[in-house]
Amino acid sequence: MLRAGLGTRSRCCGRLWRSPCPGAAGGCARALSAASASRSPGSGGGARSGGAPPAGASNVKPLDGVKILDLTRVLAGPFATMNLGDLGAEVIKVERPGAGDDTRAWGPPFAGRESIYFLSVNRNKKSIAINMKDSKGVKVIKELAAASDVFVENFVPGKLAEMGLGYEDIKKIAPHIVYCSITGYGQTGPVVQRGGYDSIAAAVSGLMHITGHEDGEPVRSGVAMTDLATGLYTYGAIMAGLLQRYKTGKGLHIDCNLLSTQVACLTHVAANYLNCKIEAKRWGTAHGSIVPYQAFKTKDGYIVVGAGNDHQFVTVCKILNLPEVSKDSRYKTNTLRVQNRKELIDILSTRFSEKATMEWLQLFEGSGVPYGPINNMQQVFSDPQVLHNGLVMEMNHPTAGKIAVPGPGVRYSEFAMSHPKPPPLVGQHTVEILKSVLGYEDDAIEELLCTGAVAQHEVR
């Protein structure tokens, strides 16, 4: 157990159903009853991932016993905490009663009433619905923070501090806490009060400026890569924070933000400007510093080929039956190929257009040259290597039924990330968490439910 210690836990005594809730029409009773039912064996159904635990492995996961209080919404934060949940952490997702995470409304498509977007990044979590505008709800969050190892949030800087839930507030009651903030622009600076969405951060950071056809308009990437990269930075930062606390015995505050993530991910494009004052441009599928390294149109589709060194370029020319091109002095080195890009790409494009994609794939097989088709989703999830790598996780959701989502992209020799729990309903685990984590008695839970400070989902 990495946690240095737990805070005090509120306990309230008394009999359940001591008095009815005015105007509740039995709602509190139904909620507590539903919560008990939701914890019964088989709730949420079974789950399957693409791989079983390795032979001889105990399947003890690195974050078993670590508790994460997750106040994030949308993508970067939920993606980070989902990955931590895959490694065994207990993730308690705090949501607004009723509406829940913003992405629950993002659709179509939906599986039943559940947003596919939400389902894709929220496995292995429990949901507690708390009204953060209610002082009793804030008190519950503080108590959960004291009982947790990690506190993750993605509110505009200062917003949680106004509620008494900022880092300095939580640090007082939970000095062991690894408190991670995810924002659009950081905790300080001239524009930190702006909201941060992936597309805006991708624009401000320059990613959109370098994405798209060479002579075309700026283009947003097909998935929210700035959000996802921030989620991965957050995931790694929280792991580092837990290790730091293990060494020092103290918690800390972590500042993750979309702008910093994406600027850091500009890598060589940024370095070209910083060192040589070379302004970046859009290259479509091509690469500014390597030729050939791009998609080529075939008779019936596309193939992407990358020759990262001179030997690979000679091999490409041999496969295309263009031996004279590999001997041409204009194309002898990568530097020369970059300088004479247009002429070379014209020659290669003409040859690639003469055969179908599958013919080229067969010719490149075993050549040592990196290559591949541009697949649609149906082709991706029927690809033999994708299937072999176990990249699809299947779960039985309590209302949506059988669902499938992409699983983690990493494998470990000593444990498997199998048997995931399905994404939760809003407030599905409220009563369970209040009892098991905070030790609340039934009458105290009943009061919170009746006043609207918390809510419990009733699975119908």
- Tell me the catalytic residues: 227
Closest by Cα among 447, 353, 421 to 31 = 447
Q: What is the DSSP secondary structure assignment for residue 208, as one 8-state letter?
A: G
The neighbouring-strand residues paired with 67 are: 90
First and final CA of the chain: distance in angstroms? 37
> Residue 365: exposed, middle, or buried by beta-carbon count in 10 A (0-12, 13-18, 19+)?
exposed
Closest by Cα among 186, 92, 151, 52 to 430 = 92
- Answer whether 400's CB lies under 8 Å from 119's CB: yes
Which H or E run contains 248? Answer: helix 225-248
Which residues fall within 8 angstroms of residue 234, CB to CB, at 6 or more apart? 76, 77, 80, 152, 180, 182, 254, 256
The crossing angle, in degrees rounded to 10, of helices 76-86 and 225-248 is: 50
How would you classify residue 220: left for phi > 0, otherwise alpha for psi between -120 and 50, otherwise beta? beta
* Cα distance between residue 124 and residue 426, in whole Å: 14
Whose structure tokens read 């002082």?
Answer: 135
Q: Which long-range contacts (CB under 8 A, 24 or more apart) does 34-42 make?
A: 34/456, 34/457, 34/458, 34/459, 35/429, 35/430, 35/431, 35/432, 35/456, 36/431, 37/459, 38/398, 38/428, 38/429, 38/432, 38/457, 38/459, 39/432
* Cα distance between residue 81 and residue 67, in whole Å: 11
Give DSSP secondary structure letters for 129-198: EE-TTSHHHHHHHHHHHHT-SEEEE-PPTTHHHHTT-SHHHHHHH-TT-EEEEEESS-SSSTTTTS---H
* Cα distance between residue 287 and residue 351, in whole Å: 20
Rg of the Cα atoms in the chain? 26
- CB neighbour burial string for 237-267, b if at least 16 within 10 angstroms, e if fewer: bbbebbeebeeeeebbbbbbbbbbbbbebbe
Q: Helix, strand, or coil here: 348?
A: helix
Return the amino acid letter for 365. E
